[in-house]
Structure 1
Amino acid sequence: MDGANPIFVFTVLLAVILLVPPAFERLRLPGLVGLLLAGVILGPNGLQFLDHESETIKLLSGIGKVYLMFVAGLEIDLSQFRKTRHRSLVFGFCTFIVPILTGIIIGRWFGFGWNGSLLIGSLLASHTLLAYPIVRRLGVVQNEAVTVTIGATIFTDTAALVVLAICVGINRGEFTALTLINQLVTLSLYCFLVLWGFDRAGKEFFQRSRDDQGNQFLFILLTLFVASVSAQLIGVEQIVGAFLAGLAVNDVLGDSPVKEKVEFIGGVLFIPCFFVDMGLLIDIPAFVKTLSSIGITVAIVVGLIGSKFIAAWLSALWYRYTAMEMLTMWSLSLPQVAATLAATLVGFQEGILTQDILNSVLVLMVVTSILGPMITAQTATRIPIPQPEQEAIEELTPWWDSSEDPQPYPFTVVVPVQNPQTQRSLVELAALLARHEAGRVVAVAIVRGQVHMDDPQLDA
């Protein structure tokens, strides 16, 4: 029984996902941090139960990485996103340009050329939504500041990967203005085909399949992976395609049971596997080596944290977000994992970046992967509940809580709408009774609370 046995690896992963997050949440720490630490303990530098190079780990972690971005796109309220797309662009620009300038300054300060310094800056400019499951569980995804931050991810990751392509082309002597224009045109065409084509195809398929939830579920998964693979074919990171796929099928799924199934299987299995794999990448001996280059490591970590904070502060100041909303935007944009790690490995293999930068980025990944979710877990509980929920709560205020004299309560028929097989007949019967007495019909459904339900969602 070792890391090469797929069944053994899968068993260990299931045990970690089941046991570790609840234990850390009892200690008031995010479960995601527990998954990262579990990866360190079970990885090559610990008990050696799991190996990042294992085909099973690669498969499950790769699915989890794209699934994380897919669900992020799926959860965005498109009506709200359309209203805030300009704000997402502004925050995306701020959280890209401030860190990239900071990285260029750090690179030049420590003796790197302009090409290497630009690549260091691009490493700091992107971010990974590691803490997205936290804001989703807290029920604050619809908050404008959170929506703006999620929307900005597509801008920062895409721009950072374009900069990476430019730096690699310059290093190889293959870069020209024509190749840049070609890349941008290809990317624009790809975005249009995914957003428009998958939306049309999804609506047509769902209309034809009607209540066949199994085939609808498979169609959504196929959409996710086709978009991810297609993104890689045109030289863009898979997570960009996954995010666009989530946006494309957002209207198609709505709040259907299929959407619940898609999110359930990702949140329970694939996404946690991705976080465990991130822990496996943490090389403890590499941290020891960074002691010899502690200066550039501290500069990169402090520069990233400070530049992301400045970007969030400028955007919050411009759009008048609260302090907690600003801190949530900052913490969501802190983690440097997927795109950063991929770009660092490419830059190191191309000879643009040194071993010191690679080790420093590993330290940066650990610090931001732990710090970001921890801050999000604290600040997201204190940001305002989106306005539609507040209005719904006010509408549900009982009549006897009114400050005015209560009026005689009308004849009311309460109808359970839990069972789709009986609800139509029950509503029709209730309507007949209510009309006879000039009364009203009130539908009631019992909602079962989720495990680890947090305060804002519970209050709503």
Structure 2
Amino acid sequence: MELELILYLALMLMTAETFGWIFARIGQPIVLGQIIGGILLGMLFPPTTEVIDISMLGVLFLLFMAGLESSVDELKEAGKVGFLTAVVGVVVAFLIGFAVVYPFKGFKQALLYGALTTPTSVSLTVRVLMELDALKTVEGNAIITAAIVDDILGIIILSVVISILVQGGANSIGIGIILLKVMAFLVASIYITPPAIDWLLRKVVRLGFADSTITLSMAVLFAFAYLAEHMNLASILGAYLFGLALSETEFRKPIFEHTRIVAHSIFIPLFFVDVGMNIPLKNISHVGIFALIFTVGAIVSKIIGCGLGAFIAGLNLRQSLRIGIGMIPRMGVELAMLAIAMNAGIVGEDAYVVIVLMIFLSTLVTPPLLKMSFSRENSEET
């Protein structure tokens, strides 16, 4: 049964709002509610290609907003603990993800799944730390700074993996060329784009078209995403790096505030509902055991990797364990990465089920584990 596009979008937005509200009321991430709502909606009305194309804009907005919320200064000030936590966590997560998947899916899919395990979504962790009054602790600061570095590394790894898989493989020279492209993109975004876009937006304001700064920013965002894809990299890399570039200008706050309303009211909810609508429920029985093994590997990889990074940086075992637990959750970036991989035709429908189940379980286990790790010290103090 097919619906007209406008009616589809209306149903998707109402579903996102309704289930997001329900999950917020029971103390769960709104995103999970939107995905569940999408699953139910998809059982009645399978998504059309037009709906999928529009929802992909949500992927770009999601990464653009993440870039805007970061800053080059924050990356420079991440410090030894945040940097080592992120780097070691990403490396270990990739290796464990690869090792877990390889016996089931082979080399190419193991590369992709390994890349998909690398990012972290700490919004849930931040909420729990705020409840525990522990956000400003050594552990809280390390988790927040590590998450920024973590996402950038994860997006870069996925860009490299997608480029390799799209090209059908790559030798050392090919991988070197891909890394050079990524480095060129990074350098341009950090050193060239900020002053250029700042000058351009100032010109627009002086000409009396202040409101056009938002429109112009969106145009450059899509151009950056297209450029990244044209270079055989992930479009989300372009979206993230342009957001990071804009964060270095005086227009960061107004563009963030105006874009946030549109992005979080329309495009990002559409994306998460679309994720749910695209989950093939018939495949759950086929991936059940593999999904469980992969999820355990993904959870353990962050505890070990990020915990080890924090320990190497000089924190004690208890602090390192807390940081490792706090870095467990996955959410928005992983789904954006998965959507890009599916759009590139290098991953099948089963991956949707596996990644979404991993996201659900990782977000469910983090709050109790985090509270338990902090409650031990409190009980010892009393």
Q: TM-score range by the shorter chain?
A: 0.7 to 0.9
User: Structure 1 CA distance, aligned partners of 2:19 and 2:62?
Assistant: 19
Matched residue, 1:156 = 154
Matched residue, 1:166 = 164
Matched residue, 1:95 = 89
User: Structure 1 CA distance, aligned partners of 2:149 and 2:71?
Assistant: 11
User: Structure 2 CA distance, aligned partners of 1:73 and 1:226?
Assistant: 16
Relative to structure 1, is the Cα distance of residues 10 and 132 closer, same or farther in structure 2, using a 3 angstrom cutoff? same
Alpha-carbon contact 1:33-1:370 (below 8 Å) kept: yes
Q: In the TM superposition, what is the alpha-carbon distance from 1:91 to its structure 2 partner?
A: 3.5
Alpha-carbon contact 2:29-2:124 (below 8 Å) kept: no
User: Structure 2 CA distance, aligned partners of 1:379 and 1:250?
Assistant: 34
Alpha-carbon contact 2:86-2:306 (below 8 Å) kept: no
Matched residue, 1:26 = 25
Out of 122, 126, 135, the position equivalent to 2:114 is 122
Matched residue, 1:203 = 198
Relative to structure 1, is the Cα distance of residues 39 and 166 closer, same or farther in structure 2, using a 3 angstrom cutoff? same
Relative to structure 1, is the Cα distance of residues 324 and 108 closer, same or farther in structure 2, using a 3 angstrom cutoff? closer
User: Structure 1 CA distance, aligned partners of 2:335 and 2:94?
Assistant: 16
Q: In the TM superposition, what is the alpha-carbon distance from 1:179 to its structure 2 partner?
A: 2.2
1:55 aligns with 2:50: yes
SS at match of 1:203: helix
- Deviation per residue, 1:82-120 (Å, 9 max, x gap): 21176565344323322332244335545x66x347526
Alpha-carbon contact 1:67-1:242 (below 8 Å) kept: yes
SS at match of 1:306: helix
Q: In the TM superposition, what is the alpha-carbon distance from 1:283 to its structure 2 partner?
A: 0.9
Matched residue, 1:65 = 59
Out of 343, 353, 378, the position equivalent to 1:363 is 353
Q: In the TM superposition, what is the alpha-carbon distance from 1:10 to its structure 2 partner?
A: 1.8
Alpha-carbon contact 1:35-1:272 (below 8 Å) kept: yes
User: Structure 1 CA distance, aligned partners of 2:49 and 2:152?
Assistant: 29
Alpha-carbon contact 1:118-1:167 (below 8 Å) kept: no
- Deviation per residue, 1:268-319 (Å, 9 max, x gap): 221111111111121110012335xx3x333222212211221222233344
Structure 1 consecutive aligned stretches of length 4 or more whose deviation exceeds 6 Å: 136-142, 376-384
1:8 aligns with 2:7: yes
User: Structure 1 CA distance, aligned partners of 2:16 and 2:238?
Assistant: 27
User: Structure 2 CA distance, aligned partners of 1:181 and 1:6?
Assistant: 43
Q: In the TM superposition, what is the alpha-carbon distance from 1:78 to its structure 2 partner?
A: 3.7
Matched residue, 2:185 = 190
Higher relative contact order (CA 8 A, sep 6+): 2
1:337 aligns with 2:335: yes
Quick one: which amino acid aligns to residue 300 of structure 2?
A: G
SS at match of 2:233: coil
Out of 292, 300, 318, the position equivalent to 2:294 is 300
- Deviation per residue, 1:46-80 (Å, 9 max, x gap): 222x51x3313421x21111111111111124433
Q: In the TM superposition, what is the alpha-carbon distance from 1:156 to its structure 2 partner?
A: 1.9
Matched residue, 1:393 = none
Alpha-carbon contact 1:65-1:274 (below 8 Å) kept: yes
Matches within 5 A, 1:378-457: none
SS at match of 2:327: helix
Matched residue, 1:176 = 171
User: Structure 1 CA distance, aligned partners of 2:240 and 2:230?
Assistant: 16
Quick one: which amino acid aligns to residue 16 of structure 2?
A: I
Alpha-carbon contact 1:312-1:329 (below 8 Å) kept: yes
Matched residue, 2:226 = 229
User: Structure 2 CA distance, aligned partners of 1:226 and 1:381?
Assistant: 44
Quick one: which amino acid aligns to residue 295 of structure 2?
A: V
Matched residue, 1:396 = none
Give the root-mean-square deviation of aligned CA atoms: 3.7
Matched residue, 2:265 = 268
SS at match of 1:252: coil
Matched residue, 1:316 = 310
Relative to structure 1, is the Cα distance of residues 23 and 240 closer, same or farther in structure 2, using a 3 angstrom cutoff? same
Alpha-carbon contact 1:146-1:328 (below 8 Å) kept: no
Relative to structure 1, is the Cα distance of residues 77 and 120 closer, same or farther in structure 2, using a 3 angstrom cutoff? closer
User: Structure 2 CA distance, aligned partners of 1:333 and 1:21?
Assistant: 14
1:328 aligns with 2:323: no
User: Structure 2 CA distance, aligned partners of 1:176 and 1:77?
Assistant: 34
Identity, % of aligned pairs? 22
TM-score (norm 2): 0.80
| Worse-matched range after superposition: 334-343 or 156-165 | 334-343
Q: In the TM superposition, what is the alpha-carbon distance from 1:218 to its structure 2 partner?
A: 1.1
Relative to structure 1, is the Cα distance of residues 136 and 252 closer, same or farther in structure 2, using a 3 angstrom cutoff? farther
User: Structure 2 CA distance, aligned partners of 1:99 and 1:336?
Assistant: 13
SS at match of 1:213: coil
Relative to structure 1, is the Cα distance of residues 176 and 324 closer, same or farther in structure 2, using a 3 angstrom cutoff? closer
Q: In the TM superposition, what is the alpha-carbon distance from 1:187 to its structure 2 partner?
A: 2.2
Q: In the TM superposition, what is the alpha-carbon distance from 1:183 to its structure 2 partner?
A: 1.9
User: Structure 2 CA distance, aligned partners of 1:146 and 1:162?
Assistant: 25
Relative to structure 1, is the Cα distance of residues 163 and 259 closer, same or farther in structure 2, using a 3 angstrom cutoff? closer
Unaligned runs of 5+ in 2: 375-382
Quick one: which amino acid aligns to residue 269 of structure 2?
A: P
Q: In the TM superposition, what is the alpha-carbon distance from 1:199 to its structure 2 partner?
A: 0.8
Relative to structure 1, is the Cα distance of residues 218 and 15 closer, same or farther in structure 2, using a 3 angstrom cutoff? same
Q: In the TM superposition, what is the alpha-carbon distance from 1:135 to its structure 2 partner?
A: 5.2
Alpha-carbon contact 2:189-2:241 (below 8 Å) kept: yes
User: Structure 2 CA distance, aligned partners of 1:239 and 1:383?
Assistant: 35
Q: In the TM superposition, what is the alpha-carbon distance from 1:20 to its structure 2 partner?
A: 2.3
1:290 aligns with 2:282: no
- Deviation per residue, 1:347-396 (Å, 9 max, x gap): 867xxxxx7xx63x333212233234456777999999xxxxxxxxxxxx
